[in-house]
Each structure stands twice: as structure tokens, then as C-alpha cells.
Amino acid sequence: MAKATKTFVCQNCGAVTTRWQGRCDSCGEWNTIIEEVGRSEVLPKGVSGGKGGRKIEFVDLKGAVENVPRRMTGIGELDRVCGGGLVAGSAILVGGDPGIGKSTVLLQAMGALAKSGAACVYITGEEAVDQVRLRAARLGMRDAPVQLAAASNVRDIVASLDAGAPPDVVVIDSIQTMFADSVESAPGTVTQVRTSAHELIRVAKRRGFVLFLVGHVTKEGTLAGPRVLEHMVDTTLYFEGDRGHQFRILRAVKNRFGATDEIGVFAMTDTGLAEVANPSALFLAERRGNVSGSCVFAGLEGSRPVLVEIQALVAPSVLGTPRRASVGWDSGRLNMIIAVLETRCGIALSAHDIYLNVAGGLRISEPAADLAVATALVSSLTGQPVPADAAVFGEIGLSGEVRAVSQRDLRLKEAAKLGFRQAWVPRQAGKAGADPGTRDGLAVKGIGHVQDVVSQFAEATAKPRATAGQKS
Ligand code: TYD
Ligand code: MG
């Protein structure tokens, strides 16, 4: 007989120890270690204690593969993020901060799907049935034939989903409230979340319905239960945005049935989430021309180009250590660009407070925004506006060189479409005649070094350096 072994698993970080401890060595949390019983090894037949196993069939890679049929939710942005519709039998995790709109978007999707004839089930462990009904009324979908239930016991839910004809789509809101009675820990702990999700995903695969799991994000920004769920599901979507802003972005971070980094843009209105088909126009809607410190970045979100305004404020500091604050952009990256501007272009910024903001509440993670950030900073420092019809992109290296970025043409096309007349982009080395030039009515200016941008604001920056040079 293989020996049943006791292991102790931290419910916070998943670390395994051989004995109980009050405090987890690996993450430092108290009272998170719980005993789990399991068999130590799987032994082959013939070895003492080995039970053996069934032999599995191996096949080769070629073979008839059916094109997976996809079910459209009727919410275009959601369909695109899912890779072009929902795949039967797949599990989709929708993560996000509390109150961001996860329940709203899923209820809207269920309503639209149900109206198109799909059998939809919405199971909530967080709200009472009446609360969901009120929300449905507000969303104008009272008549949608969605099957609604307030339940949290996984055994009951699995039994119900197993009985009768299988549904087409099931929403579990949220996985942290689900409770599997086969394990002893409380709802929301790693073991519970993992077991509940496992049971629900199994029934989804067995009966071939699409399963949406709602997952709350912890303070640190990970899905509660250290990303244990991300491995188990086919698709992970994050719903992000700032509660102070109207815009919500649904982002695919993992997708077995489509591209990741795809985004869907929504606006929260008093009748639910509305799709935003042209995000660039929306992010630039409140831009005013001729203000220093504002620069339009031609970015890329997934397969889609998105133009956003980057705003910088550079002001003399009264503090010993000047302030550096960045919203919507990595602050480490901001410090790097400040260092490059100081060292490679001789711009003194060490006595200035610097604030950076990506307008509209979008979060940018592309290094391609470097050049736009640098441009906004120099513009704010000199007080000279960036030309209102210029769109900028390019990555900056540590020596100040401007590096090429992906999807140059796509970015240029979007800028041209939105009426921009010039683009400041990385110089294309080796492509004679490519820069400078005109494309789609855009004057394309190739930038080889950040200094090329700085010298466009030359008068104000060059003077102090010239006088400094004369003195020495
Ligand atoms: P909700 O979907 O409950 O968030 P989550 O499930 O992610 O916790 O969203 C709740 C927020 O959305 C709440 O602050 C109110 C707002 N809201 C609207 O502005 N308009 C609406 O039509 C609805 C239904 C919600
Ligand atoms: Mg909710």
C-alpha cells in the first residue's frame, strides 16, 4: 500500500511543508497552513503497493480537426476579447476589482445570449435574487429568459447542471463565494477556490457548456488564491479601469482560443455598459490643442491601434527630493526616461517635480510610449506645446537612441484616420527613402535619438545650456 501522507499547504501562497507551522516560511502569513491528505506516489503495477493504471492511446498530430464552433454573445467587444465568440466547453475567468462591472457585463451578455435563444444560467453567491432582478430591470432586460439562482454549494450546483438538458452558458458569480463540502476550509481560501473551480470546470467540459467564473482581485492585484485559477481555465480576462472614470477595459491575458492582449472598451452608463467602437476618438475627446506637456501616443492594444493623450507636468520643486508621480504608466520606466533626458540630452530635471498621466484612465504597458513620454516632458519643461496634429511613438534605449516598435503601419494608419498630419516615429535604418516621407497624408518624421525631439523645442532648452557653457 502506498502510504497516505500528510502535507501542509499554505492557503495564501501554496507552499508545501511537512509539518504544521503557525506562520508560513515562504510568504510570512500567519494561520494559513492547513493539512491536506494525499497518496505519496503513483506506483506502477508489480511494484509493491502499485495499483497500475489504464494505458492511454497516443495519436499523431495530423488528423481531422473540426473548426471549433463559436457562439456570439451579441456584445461585440466581449466576443473579440474572447477570440471571436465563445467556445463550447471552455472555462472563462473574469477577474477585476470589486465594483468594476464584472457582474454587469456578464448579466448583459447573458441577457443578449438568452434573447438569441441560448439557454443561460446565472448563479450568484454574492447577491440575493432580488438584487440581480433589480439590476436586470435597470439594464432593460427583464424579459430575457435567463435562469437565475442564488446558490453557493458546489455539490448542489453540479447536481443541478448535470440534471436535464445541459445549458449553453453558465455564469458563476463569484468563485470566491463557492463552497465545496469535500474540503474543510472556508470559502475564499486557496483550497476551496481550487476545488470548487475544478468541480465546475469538470462539469462544463463534460456537458459542453461555456462557463464564466467571476474572480475578485486581491489588493496586490492578483486573482485571490495566487493565480491558482489561471492555470485551470482556458481564458482569463481582466476587467480594469478606474472607478472615477467612465471607461472600462476588458483585457485578455490568457486565451487558448485566440490572441491575448486583445482589449474591449466599454463605457459605464446608467443603463449598464455600452460598447465603445472607436476608443481613440473617445480617449482624445477631451484633448485641447496648444497646451504644453501634452503629447498623443499612437499605441497598440492587442491587435487594435489606440491613440491616447499623455500629459506631463514638470514644475520647479520646493522639496529636497522632488516628487515623481505617474498614473497609467510604469513609474520605473518614467525614471529611466528622466535619466536618459538628463544624461544624454543635458536637460536638468533633478530640481523639478514631475507628474505623468495617461488621459482617460487607460493603463499603458508598451515601451513604445517612451518617445511620447519624453516629448511630453520636454514640452512641459519648455512650455512649448507639441504640434496638435502630431502623433508620436518609439522606444527609447539607455543611450538615448530611438528604437523601432512593432506594427508601425497600423499605428500610422490609425493616426491618419483620426486626422493627424504628422508622425514622429523611430527612424528606419537601412530603408532608404522611407523617412522622411508622406504616408496616408501623414508627414512621417524619422527620429534617431531623443535629442532630435529635444532640439525641436530648441530655443528654451538650448539657451540655459549655452550660458552654462560660457561660464565654465
Ligand atoms: P458590478 O457589476 O456590480 O461590479 P462587480 O461585479 O465587478 O463587483 O458593478 C457595479 C458598479 O457599476 C456600481 O458601482 C454601479 C455601477 N453601475 C452603473 O453605473 N450603471 C449600471 O447600469 C449598473 C448596473 C451598474
Ligand atoms: Mg459582482
Rounded CA separation 192/78 (Å): 28
Q: Is residue 360 part of a domain?
A: yes
Q: How many domains does the structure of the chain reveal?
A: 3
- Ligand 2 centre from 155 Cα, in Å? 22
Query: Of 224, 257, 277, which residue is a domain's last?
Result: 277
Q: Are 402 and 361 in a shared domain?
A: yes
The CATH number of residue 328's host domain is 3.30.230.10
Q: Is residue 117 part of a domain?
A: yes
- Is the C-beta atom of 111 inside 6 A of ligand 1? no
- Residue 226's pLDDT is 44
Closest ligand relative to 107 C-alpha? 1
Average the pLDDT over 366-372 and give the result: 95
Q: Among the atoms of ligand 1, which is closest to the Cα of residue 139?
A: 22
User: Lowest-pLDDT range, 8-12, 88-92, 203-207?
Assistant: 8-12
The alpha helices in 116-164, defined as continuous H runs, are 129-138, 154-162
- Ligand 1 centre from 222 Cα, in Å? 21
**Three cell numbers written together for 343:** 544624461
- Ligand 1 centre from 124 Cα, in Å? 15
Q: Among the atoms of ligand 1, which is closest to the Cα of residue 272?
A: 22
What's this model's pTM, rounded to 2 decimal places? 0.75
401 has pLDDT over 80:
yes
Rounded CA separation 420/299 (Å): 14
Q: Are 298 and 193 in a shared domain?
A: no
Q: Are 224 and 94 in a shared domain?
A: yes
Q: Is residue 222 part of a domain?
A: yes
- Is the C-beta atom of 422 inside 6 A of ligand 1? no
Q: Are 268 and 216 in a shared domain?
A: yes
- Residue 219's pLDDT is 61
Share of the chain above pLDDT 70, in %: 91
Q: Among the atoms of ligand 1, which is closest to the Cα of residue 98?
A: 8
- Residue 245's pLDDT is 77
- Is the C-beta atom of 287 inside 6 A of ligand 1? no
Q: Are 245 and 298 in a shared domain?
A: no
Query: Of 251, 277, 303, which residue is a domain's last?
Result: 277
- Residue 206's pLDDT is 92
The CATH number of residue 92's host domain is 3.40.50.300
- Ligand 1 centre from 302 Cα, in Å? 26
- Residue 28's pLDDT is 85
Rounded CA separation 131/127 (Å): 6
Closest ligand relative to 269 C-alpha? 1
Q: Is residue 219 part of a domain?
A: yes
Q: Among the atoms of ligand 1, which is closest to the Cα of residue 173?
A: 6
For 26-69, what is each residue's pLDDT tens digit?
Answer: 888 888 888 877 655 667 777 776 777 888 889 888 877 777 78
**Three cell numbers written together for 385:** 506645446
370 has pLDDT over 60:
yes
- The amino acid sitting at 295 is C
Average the pLDDT over 327-353 and give the result: 94
- As a whole number, the mean pLDDT across the chain is 85
User: Is 464 within 8 Å of 345 (Cβ atoms)?
Assistant: no
Residues 6+ apart with CB under 8 A from 1: 49
- Is the C-beta atom of 207 inside 6 A of ligand 1? no
426 has pLDDT over 90:
yes
- Is the C-beta atom of 215 inside 6 A of ligand 1? no
460 has pLDDT over 60:
no
- Ligand 1 centre from 327 Cα, in Å? 23
Average the pLDDT over 443-453 and give the result: 92
Of residues 80 and 440, more confidently modeled: 80
Q: Are 187 and 288 in a shared domain?
A: no
Closest listed residue to residue 420, CA positions, set 242, 289, 262? 289
For 83-95, what is each residue's pLDDT tens digit?
Answer: 889 999 999 999 8
Q: Among the atoms of ligand 1, which is closest to the Cα of residue 101?
A: 2
Closest listed residue to residue 237, CA positions, set 463, 75, 454, 461? 75
**Three cell numbers written together for 47:** 511494484
Closest listed residue to residue 382, CA positions, set 345, 344, 357? 345
In which domain, by residue range, is 422 found? Answer: 281-465
Q: Are 244 and 356 in a shared domain?
A: no
Q: Is 65 helix (H, G, I), strand (E, B) or coil?
A: coil
For ligand 1, atom 11, the nearest C-alpha belongs to 99
300 has pLDDT over 80:
yes
Rounded CA separation 205/171 (Å): 14
Terminal Cα distance for the chain, rounded: 86
- Ligand 2 centre from 139 Cα, in Å? 15
**Three cell numbers written together for 454:** 529635444
Closest listed residue to residue 295, CA positions, set 224, 206, 207, 370? 370
Share of the chain above pLDDT 90, in %: 48
Q: What is the DSSP string of 329-371?
A: S-HHHHHHHHHHHHHHH----TTEEEEEEEGGG-----GGGHH
- The amino acid sitting at 162 is D
**Three cell numbers written together for 455:** 532640439
Q: Is residue 56 part of a domain?
A: no
Of residues 302 and 275, more confidently modeled: 275
Q: Centre a 10 Å sphere on the Cβ of residue 50 and count the other Cβ atoms it contains.
A: 14
Q: Are 288 and 399 in a shared domain?
A: yes
Residues 6+ apart with CB under 8 A from 442: 391, 412, 415, 416, 420, 421, 422, 423
- Ligand 1 centre from 243 Cα, in Å? 10
pLDDT band at 392 (very low <50, low <70, confident <90, very high): very high
For ligand 1, atom 1, the nearest C-alpha belongs to 101
Q: Centre a 10 Å sphere on the Cβ of residue 148 and count the other Cβ atoms it contains.
A: 16
Q: Are 107 and 158 in a shared domain?
A: yes
- Residue 40's pLDDT is 57
- Residue 470's pLDDT is 39
For ligand 1, atom 21, the nearest C-alpha belongs to 272
Q: Is residue 178 part of a domain?
A: yes
| Protein residues near ligand 2, an ion, with CB under 5 A | 103
pLDDT band at 145 (very low <50, low <70, confident <90, very high): very high
Q: Are 119 and 205 in a shared domain?
A: yes
Rounded CA separation 246/127 (Å): 24
Rounded CA separation 124/197 (Å): 14
- Is the C-beta atom of 268 inside 6 A of ligand 1? yes
**Three cell numbers written together for 466:** 549655452
Q: Is 64 helix (H, G, I), strand (E, B) or coil?
A: coil
Q: Is residue 58 part of a domain?
A: no
Q: Are 269 and 285 in a shared domain?
A: no
**Ligand 1 mutation pick, 94, 266, 268, 269, max ligand atoms within 8 A of CB:** 268
Of residues 261 and 27, more confidently modeled: 27
Rounded CA separation 306/357 (Å): 16
Of residues 377 and 362, more confidently modeled: 377
pLDDT band at 222 (very low <50, low <70, confident <90, very high): low
Rounded CA separation 180/202 (Å): 14
- Residue 227's pLDDT is 64
Map grid coordinates 453558465 to a residue: 170
- Is the C-beta atom of 152 inside 6 A of ligand 1? no
- Residue 14's pLDDT is 81
Q: Is residue 472 part of a domain?
A: no
**Ligand 1 mutation pick, 100, 103, 104, max ligand atoms within 8 A of CB:** 104
Q: Centre a 10 Å sphere on the Cβ of residue 252 and count the other Cβ atoms it contains.
A: 23
Residues constituting the chain: 472
- Ligand 2 centre from 315 Cα, in Å? 41
Query: Of 208, 243, 277, which residue is a domain's last?
Result: 277
Q: Among the atoms of ligand 1, which is closest to the Cα of residue 138?
A: 22
Compute CA 463 distance to the chain's CA centroid, rounded to the nearest angstrom.
44
Q: Is 316 helix (H, G, I), strand (E, B) or coil?
A: strand
Q: Are 149 and 13 in a shared domain?
A: no
- Residue 4's pLDDT is 61
395 has pLDDT over 80:
yes
User: Lowest-pLDDT range, 117-131, 194-208, 262-276?
Assistant: 262-276
